[in-house]
Structure 1
Amino acid sequence: MTSTSFSAEVGAAFPDHTQLPDSDGTFVKNFQEHPQSILLTESIWATLQALHPEGDFCIGQDSGIYWRITDPPERGAEAPDWFYVPHVPATLDGQPRRSYVLWREHIAPLVLLEFVSGDGSEERDKTPWTGKFWVYEQVIRPAFYGIYEVKKASIELYHYVENQFQRVPAGDRGHYPIPQLGIELGIWHGTYQNMELPWLRWWDLNGNLLLMGEERANQETERANQETERANQEAQRADRLAAKLRELGIDPENP
């Protein structure tokens, strides 16, 4: 499509998510990124459902946010590794979203996260109109922008305040609070999908890790096993006491 024809179509109507590319044709940088996104989404899902009982929110995972009209269109988009937008429908006209078109919905993400694969310069690039940091700070303006580096097991979290990003200090637990959600963001050292890494995860404000479904199921199984073990121990103690009573000539069934 030529620049002239694209501009003519734009003059008639702004394109929507069905008319814009849903990929820029690049590969995901490594095998950790998709599991990391799934881990973040699954563990925060119950929290978001409680905050949005009507289901009016969406989560993007390596999905495009269109912030300006360009030719080709994908040059006017950024594709964060993970982001959450409140107060918007999960689908549009009954269709899954192909991208998030900022000029149509006007609501900025509350949380936007980038997973660093290189040296982190791309995620911190403040070059006007092309740098990710500049675009996020000056145009998209998420309330919180996080830069996660798995190689360094580190997070930089920025809060959008008075037209600029301000660095958020870590709390006593080394986590970063997001008060609007009542949660904290931090690093969890553990194994997920056969990879032992410093993963990016959520905690509640009391320091309790937000669990995935499998973790909750394992926790319930462990709790049930502990209850069974306690019941068995109580039964064994009762049997030993009954045996002692019988040695003393006392019938425990008819004392």
Structure 2
Amino acid sequence: MVAQIPAEITTQVIYPDRDGQPMSDNTKQFRWIVTIKENLELLFAEDPQVFIAGDLLWYPVEGDNKIRQAPDAMVAFGRPKGDRGSYRQWVEDGVPPQVVFEILSPGNRMAEMNRKLHFYDRYGVEEYYIYDPDRIDLAGWIRDGDGLTAIEDANNWISPRLGIRFRMQEDTLVIYRPDDRPFMSFVEIDRLRQQAQQEIQQARQETQQARQQAEKLAAKLRELGIDPNDL
């Protein structure tokens, strides 16, 4: 009997787009995640080579779908904007997210946060920030040589990659853009937009009124036999 050589079986590794974990535990945490992610989107809106995401699974190692993390917000310089089901690093020219943010909730445990720090340290993150909105506490790490090193004082710290500044106040954290404008919520941005529209409309009305008054004055001068163009 001739032995049959079994055909080679290729197992395809599946990289799920979801890990079954909720994006946030409460409204405060969710609000901070959205505010940071969307304001970073606005900050780099004109740069097509800055990819920004929130709660997106990042797979750093091809062939291993167990090694993964979903930062609350992440920024990858040198990667094009666009939709993704997950961030598979080998598909992204080997570029890891350089900056990541985590927003704490009461459900976070120290062991979990240490695990995340180890993950980000091992897989090439350059800047890592954790904000606790309940304690009004900001912690950060920056890559120094081969590893992440704790930032001694994050108050007034300026991110080397993002150019944003963190300012701790008594009741909250304020993040400033490089032009010194603060990060704002969508509601605050919309209010400014409405205010600007109202001011533009008011200016148009004032211009129209001034034009009408000028036309009336010109008409009166003509009645008096005076050409307003000669004045």
Question: Under a length normalisation based on structure 2, what TM-score does the superposition of the two structures give?
Answer: 0.68
- Counterpart selection for 1:165 from 143, 148, 170: 148
1:57 aligns with 2:50: yes
Q: Deviations over 1:190-225 (max 9, x none)?
A: xxxxxxx84x65302464313355423423555756
Q: Distance in 2 between matches of 1:161 and 1:152?
A: 28
The alignment's C-alpha RMSD in Å is: 3.4
2:121 equivalent in structure 1: 137
The one-letter code sitting in structure 2 at the alignment partner of 1:66 is: Y
**Cα displacement (A) at 1:135:** 1.4
SS of 1:160's equivalent in the other structure is strand
Distance in 2, matches of 1:188 and 1:107, equals 35
Cα distance in 1 between the residues matched to 2:22 and 2:185 = 27
In structure 2, the partner of 1:153 is 136
Paired with 1:143 and 1:206, the residues of 2 have a C-alpha distance of 23
Q: Which position in structure 1 is the counterpart of 2:44?
A: 48
Amino acid at match of 1:134: H
Q: Deviations over 1:141-185 (max 9, x none)?
A: 2111111112211111111110111222446xx332113322123
Question: What is the distance in 2 between the residues matched to 1:69 and 1:43?
Answer: 31
Q: Tell me which amino acid in the other structure corresponds to 1:44.
A: L
Q: Which residue of 1 aligns with 2:22?
A: 27
Q: Flag the 1:29–1:214 CA change in 2: closer, same or farther, 3 A.
A: closer
| Contact 2:41 2:52 (C-alpha < 8 Å) held by counterparts | no
Counterpart-to-counterpart distance in 1, 2:144 and 2:32:
28
Question: Of 41, 44, 61, which residue of structure 2 is paired with 1:68?
Answer: 61
Equivalent positions of 1:96-245 (< 5 A) are: 96-105=83-92, 106-117=94-105, 118-125=107-114, 131-139=115-123, 141-170=124-153, 174-186=155-167, 198=172, 202-205=175-178, 207-212=180-185, 214-219=187-192, 221-222=194-195
Q: Shift in Å at residue 87 of structure 1?
A: 1.6
Bigger shift: residues 26-35 or 40-49? 26-35
Secondary structure of residue in 1 paired with 2:90: helix
Matched residues in 2 for 1:220 and 1:25: separation? 37
Q: What TM-score comes out, normalization by structure 1 length?
A: 0.63
Structure 2 distance, partners of 1:124, 1:34, is: 18
Identity of aligned residues (%): 18
Which of structure 1's runs of 4+ aligned residues deviate more than 4 A? 186-189, 220-225
Number of positions where the alignment pairs a residue of Structure 1 with one of Structure 2: 193
Is contact 1:177–1:185 with CA below 8 Å preserved after alignment?
yes
Structure 2 alignment gaps of length 5 or more: 1-8, 207-231
Task: State the 1:101 CA deviation.
Answer: 0.8
Contact 1:184–1:204, Cα closer than 8 Å, also in 2: yes
Structure with greater proportional strand content: 1
C-alpha displacement at 1:20, in angstroms?
A: 1.2
CA contact (8 A) 1:146 1:156 kept: yes
| Mapping 1:80-91, distance limit 5 Å | 80-91=71-82
Cα pair 1:80 1:112 within 8 Å, conserved: yes
- Are 2:40 and 2:52, in contact at CA under 8 Å, matched by a contact in 1? no
How far is 1:58 from its partner? 1.9
8 Å CA contact retained: 1:169, 1:176:
no
